[in-house]
Structure 1
């Protein structure tokens, strides 16, 4: 262990109970999204803690979709005051719980168990204490850390991170961005993009006794979905060049018919039907081109049988990737190896990440956190307390190495 890691470990160990209590307090706020409740209450807890840690918090109130988010906001803070800049980014909304008891954190055998511990309230605790340690131990030189904590990552992040981009609160000159997603100690230097569609098919209703007078939207839907299923199989066979967790499929992944429905009654020819298409596209793919291709397949299939169809693009989010040989990536790998005592691993996240909002501006952006993806949305979600402190040390040292 190097002297600087030992110094950071000592600083963090003295505050291990503080860190655990903050995470327990955050877990107790049921900031489930959807529906997007208690966001303002959770942000206030974060603002209070950041103020106590000397991180100069600012609460930015947002206007979310009407009736969809409760008190949407961003908490923005700063450590240091130099010109060089690195971003720490996180989200405090969580996926819905399987049971209300998940909002009472449980400490057991070195773990904290509860909704959001891994994804990613535990990561937020690591980032806040990492930033505070870097400030208190004078690691930041002539630079600063800017912390962004947003409220809607689990439902697309357009309101929160999208506001940061639209309001020009992300400086393209930043040296790097880190988000504390549950990477299990790996460095996520890339993430997939997303295309989500809703396909509506129009028919004409008729009573079963006069079914010949109707136009069966369900039958048309089956015909239209078939080329989309073939397209999904083709895309799954196009692997990424980025390294991935060996348990994750390397091809672009699509779900056809995740949601579907239609009709008004069992004895009526369905006059309408719909299905969804949701895809996670590898960074090598041209999203705009694939959206045109996918839409064209649907419209061509509808034209073949004279079906009325409309296609709505529900989500179009770009992929992101930073080469692991980039100086910012190499610096992060060195710090991770130094703190963990094992070589750093680079992987592409199988889903989408908010690194995309920064990568679009040319900022090297990475996901790195103590939580584990395989438990993150489940009933036994947890984070290891020692790993949470190790991540805080990585954040502090990485900021110091880039900014000095």
Structure 2
């Protein structure tokens, strides 16, 4: 173990209880999204923690045209003051809980259980203490670490990470970006893209006693959805060449009809119907081409029976990938391997990551965090305290490698 690593780990071990208490405090804030509640309250706790750690906190308010989110904002902190720049990025919103008990954190046997521990409030604690350790121990050199924490990752991240990009708050000259998503110790150097659609079908209402005068939108919807389902099965057979976890499917994933509905009453011919299509696409895929393909499938099926349809795009987020031989990837793998005592593994995240907002600007971007994907979003979500500290050490030492 290098002298830097020993100093960093000692610094973090001395603050183990402090880190756990901060995580417990964050978990107790029910920042569920949707609906997007308690975001300002969580942001203030994060800002206070950044202040105590010497990270020069700033809360940046964000306008939400929908009015759905409660006090939407970005929390930004900095260690160091030089030009070479490393971003640490995370989100403090969490998916809805299965039980309100999940907002009462339980600390037992080196593990903290509760909503958001893995995804990704445990990762946030690791990033804050990793940045603080790098700053206090002189690892940032003549550079700086900027921590970005956003409020809406679970619902698309357009307001949070999108605001950072649109407002020019992401510097394309940054040396790298890491987000503390629950990668379970591997390095996610690639992530899938997302394409989501809502297909609406219009018919004509009529009372059941005069059903022959109506146009049944539900029946038309079934006809239109069937070829989309066949396409979903076909596209799942297109496999990425990039490495993935043994438990993750290597093909594109589409869910047809995750949401659907029709009609106004049981005794009225439905005059409208809808269904959704939600896809996760491997990094090799062209999402614009896939959008055209899906739209054509829907329109061709509709024309066969004279159905009136419209296709609405509700999400289009590109995939992101950084080559494993990129110098920033090689440096991260070296740090992770040294701290884990085994060579680092690169894999493709089976979902989408906010790495995309940085990768679009040419910044090498990675996911590496202390949680486990398989427990995230579940009723028994947890994170190991040792994993939080180990990832904090990764972030600090990676800054020492990347910032001269």
TM-score class, shorter: over 0.9
Give distance in 1, aligned partners of 2:209 and 2:147: 65
**Given the alignment of the two structures, is residue 403 of structure 1 paired with residue 403 of structure 2, yes or no?**
yes
Aligned to 1:47: 47
Which residue pairs with 1:307 in the alignment? Answer: 307
How far the C-alpha of 1:269 sits from its partner, in A, is 1.4
1:2-401 superposed matches below 5 A: 2-401=2-401
Quote how far apart the aligned CAs of 1:66 are: 2.8
SS of 1:242's equivalent in the other structure is coil
Rounded Cα–Cα distance in structure 2 between residues aligned with 1:274 and 1:139: 55
3-state SS in 1 of match to 2:158? coil
Matched position secondary structure for 1:297: helix
Secondary structure of 1:352's aligned partner:
coil
Offset at residue 247 of structure 1 (A): 0.6
CA shift for structure 1 position 2: 2.9
Q: Distance in 2 between matches of 1:326 and 1:362?
A: 12
Moved more, 300-309 or 384-393: 300-309
Post-superposition Cα deviations, 1:259-280, rounded to whole Å, max 9, x if no partner, equal 0010122222111111000000
Distance apart, 1:239 and its partner CA: 0.4
Alpha-carbon distance, 1:168 to partner = 0.7
Structure 1 Cα separation of the partners of residues 2 and 365 of structure 2: 26
Q: How far has the Cα of 1:24 moved from its partner?
A: 0.6
Gaps of 5+ in 1: none
- How much has 1:213 moved relative to structure 2? 1.3
Q: Deviations over 1:343-388 (max 9, x none)?
A: 1011101111000000000100000001001111011111000010
Task: Kindly state the Cα deviation for residue 49 of structure 1 after the two structures are TM-superposed.
Answer: 0.6
What is the distance in 2 between the residues matched to 1:153 and 1:188?
17
CA displacement 1:83-107 (0-9 Å, x = unmatched):
1001000000001111111111110
> In 2, distance between residues paired with 1:266 and 1:289?
39
Q: Secondary structure at the match of 1:289?
A: helix
- Find the residue that maps to 1:376 and give its secondary structure: coil
CA distance in 2, matches of 1:326, 1:292: 33
In structure 1, distance between residues paired with 2:375 and 2:240: 25
Query: Cα offset for 1:4?
Result: 2.1
Q: Deviations over 1:215-268 (max 9, x none)?
A: 111111111111111111111000011100111110010000000010122222
Q: Which whole-Å CA distance do the structure 1 matches of 2:45 and 2:28 have between them?
A: 11
- How many residues align? The count is 404
Structure-1 separation of matches of 2:403 and 2:3: 19
Per-residue deviation, 1:67: 2.7
Q: Give the Cα separation in 1 of the matches to 2:65 and 2:105.
A: 31
1:9 shift after superposition: 1.1
Partner Cα distance (1:7, 1:119) in 2? 28
Aligned partners of 1:197, 1:325: CA distance in 2, in Å? 35
